[in-house]
């Protein structure tokens, strides 16, 4: 337990963290990788280069400081991060490394303002926070291993089938190399894929949502080839999967994880809104809703650049054909001449509030969405403007968590 004095000191640093948080976490990661380059085999290099991981950690540290006297208030965020840690293979022995380098980064960035009293209080606070993560993650590791079909760490799977879903997205059907059973999962969860890429010094791990219904003898991931655009480099893992991972190839994956899951106890109408490859966890949800909730109205909305980029459309249309409680809608940003000829979409441009209101009977519904961050910010703003309840709005970031509140 933290003393009242330590809590007071930590809370006094909240304004400082709000200003210098990203500078501290940027220096933290630089220090940690200098001192422990082996951790580059775990962390996502692309997120580091783009600054997303630094910002996400800064937000987490800020939230921990703000709620240091009531860490239960940030338990949902802790669990979300813990799922990712378990999926990546982060263990208890990594936490002292993080703590040592985080405290050193605070001292470096704040200089004389980081007094011995402040660093001492943060050392104690970090110990409490780390123990919370370690305990939650230990339970998750145990559950992943002990569940039926479960396993610890990474397990070898073979690509049983590869299907081209669009010009930029392929689906990979994965079965265990040992021929044994696989763990079930909740619709919306993901797996981590660990790859050794030719010419790369470090192992790369990426998390991909499962895009099919659970209960099948395989896992399906649908992967977009992330080509270089503007200042962003090409996705190393997605490119390698598209270039080299054919049927019969072997991949190493961790057991399913994730907090962005379908609430099957709420029977109100549900709206699933996917942007681009963000449709993958929603497709798993749709597959389950088709069979398990025949009396629940389901609105499935997918935004894509055009029909050539539109993945998993036939599967969604087939589910809607067989299950009248499902309504599907397509929004194309830049429809092709063929799209217009076939009338294969319902809206041109972007998903906006007037269109949502025209196809969704009421804001009293459960909303789930996923996609590029600008897309999610637009959806979030629209739902808030409409007056949808905060507890009815659920979303998933691909990569480190961010904020949808900013412009």
Report, as residue numbers or ranges, the catalytic residues.
95, 137
- Is 233 annotated as contributing to ligand binding? no
SS3 of 130-175: HHHHHHHHHHHHHHHHHCCCCCCCEEEEEEEEEEECCCCEEEEEEE
- All residues at 6 or more sequence positions from 301 whose CB lies less than 8 Å from its CB, including other chains: 271, 272, 273, 274, 328, 329, 330, 331, 351, 356, 359
Give dist(CA 377, CA 325) in Å, integer.
Answer: 28
How many Å separate Cα 86 from the centre of its chain? 13
Phi, psi torsion values for 260, nearest 5 degrees: -85, 85
Binding residue per annotation — 280? yes
Is 398 flagged in the annotation as binding? yes
Sign of CA dihedral 136, 185, 187, 246: positive
Tokens coding 274: 């996917």
Four-residue CA torsion sign, 21, 27, 29, 32: negative
Distance CA 332, CA 303 (A): 6
Q: Please give the angle made by the CA atoms of 135, 137 and 141, to the nearest 5 degrees.
A: 120
Q: Is 361 annotated as a binding residue?
A: no
Output the CA torsion 281→86→82→381 (10° steps).
-20
Q: How far apart are CA 197 and CA 199, in angstroms?
A: 6
399 is in an annotated binding site: yes
| Other CB atoms within 10 Å distance of the CB of residue 257 | 23
Burial 168-199 (b: 16+ CB within 10 A, else e): bbbbbbbbbeeeeebbebbbbbbbbbbbebee
234 strand-pairing partners: none
Q: Tell me the C-alpha distance between 102 and 24, whole Å.
A: 8
Q: Is 281 annotated as a binding residue?
A: yes
- 56 vs 41: CA distance, rounded Å: 19
User: Was 276 annotated as part of a binding site?
Assistant: yes
227 and 123 Cβ atoms separated by less than 8 Å: no
- 250-254 and 154-164: which strand pairing? antiparallel
190 assigned binding-site residue: yes
Which residues define the annotated binding site?
A: 85, 190, 206-209, 276-281, 397-400
Binding-site residues from annotation for NADP(+):
276-281
Annotated binding site for FAD: 190, 206-209, 397-400
Binding residues for heme b: 85
């Amino acid at each position: 337990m933290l003393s009242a004095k330590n809590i007071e000191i930590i809370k006094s640093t909240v304004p400082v963290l709000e200003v210098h948080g990203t500078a501290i976490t940027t220096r933290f990661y630089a220090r940690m990788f200098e001192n422990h380059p082996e951790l580059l085999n775990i962390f996502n290099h692309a997120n580091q280069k783009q600054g997303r991981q630094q910002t996400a950690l800064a937000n987490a540290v800020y939230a921990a400081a703000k709620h240091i006297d009531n860490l239960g208030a940030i338990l949902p965020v802790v669990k979300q991060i813990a799922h990712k840690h378990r999926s990546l293979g982060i263990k208890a022995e990594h936490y002292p490394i993080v703590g040592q380098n985080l405290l050193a980064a605070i001292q470096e960035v704040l200089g004389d303002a980081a007094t011995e009293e402040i660093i001492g209080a943060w050392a104690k606070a970090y110990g409490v926070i780390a123990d919370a993560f370690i305990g939650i993650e230990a339970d998750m590791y145990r559950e992943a291993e002990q569940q039926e079909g479960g396993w610890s760490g990474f397990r070898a799977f073979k690509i049983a089938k590869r299907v081209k879903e669009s010009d930029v997205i392929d689906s990979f059907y994965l079965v265990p190399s040992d021929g044994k059973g696989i763990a079930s999962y909740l619709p919306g969860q993901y797996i981590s894929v660990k790859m050794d890429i030719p010419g790369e010094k470090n192992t790369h791990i990426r998390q991909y949502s499962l895009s099919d219904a659970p209960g099948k003898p395989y896992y399906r991931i649908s992967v977009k080839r992330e080509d270089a655009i503007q200042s962003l480099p090409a996705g190393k893992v997605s490119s390698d999967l598209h270039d080299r991972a054919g049927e019969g190839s072997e991949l190493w994956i961790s057991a399913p994880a994730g907090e962005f899951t379908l609430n099957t106890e709420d029977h109100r109408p549900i709206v699933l809104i996917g942007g681009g490859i963000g449709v993958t966890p929603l497709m798993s949800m749709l597959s389950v809703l088709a069979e398990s909730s025949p009396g629940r109205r389901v609105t499935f909305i997918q935004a894509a650049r055009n029909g050539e980029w539109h993945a998993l459309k036939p599967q969604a249309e087939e589910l809607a054909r067989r299950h009248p409680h499902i309504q599907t809608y397509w929004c194309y940003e830049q429809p092709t001449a063929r799209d217009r000829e076939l009338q294969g979409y319902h809206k041109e441009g972007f998903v906006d509030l007037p269109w949502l209101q025209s196809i969704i009977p009421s804001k009293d519904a459960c909303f789930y969405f996923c996609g590029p961050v600008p897309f999610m910010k637009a959806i979030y703003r629209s739902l808030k403007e409409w007056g949808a309840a905060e507890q009815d709005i659920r979303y998933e970031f691909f990569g480190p968590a961010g904020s949808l509140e900013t412009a």
